[in-house]
Amino acid sequence: MSTIEKVQEDVLVEEQVGINNEIVLYNDDVNTFDHVIDTLIRVCQHTAEQAEQCAILVHYKGKCTVKTGHYDELKPQCTQLLEAGLSAEII
């Protein structure tokens, strides 16, 4: 006769809860694609391709998350975007 053993294991799952915020860039009818792209490269350290993709998303979707991180890191970047005439906020 054989014995079948059931083994129940408790598995601890650790979730990483981040305090990440996002800079959301909004569409406007004022700024050119070139200005938006140049500003994202300068302020958010985007590559040219990233900046162009974000500009296209903003244009067609109305908004795009351009940067994520801790609020304290994002605040100066968001301020620079606003000073450049772009519409942005941290959420």
Q: DSSP secondary structure string, 12-81?
A: ---------EEEEEE--SSS-HHHHHHHHHHHH---HHHHHHHHHHHHHHSEEEEEEE-HHHHHHHHHHH
Q: Does residue 17 or residue 56 have the better pLDDT? A: 56
Q: Is the pLDDT of residue 16 over 90?
A: no
Q: With cut-offs at 50, 70 and 90, classify the pLDDT of residue 4.
A: confident
Instruction: Judge whether residue 84 has pLDDT over 80.
Output: yes
What global pTM score does this model have?
0.80
pLDDT computed for residue 27 by the predictor: 98
**Averaged pLDDT of the chain:** 91
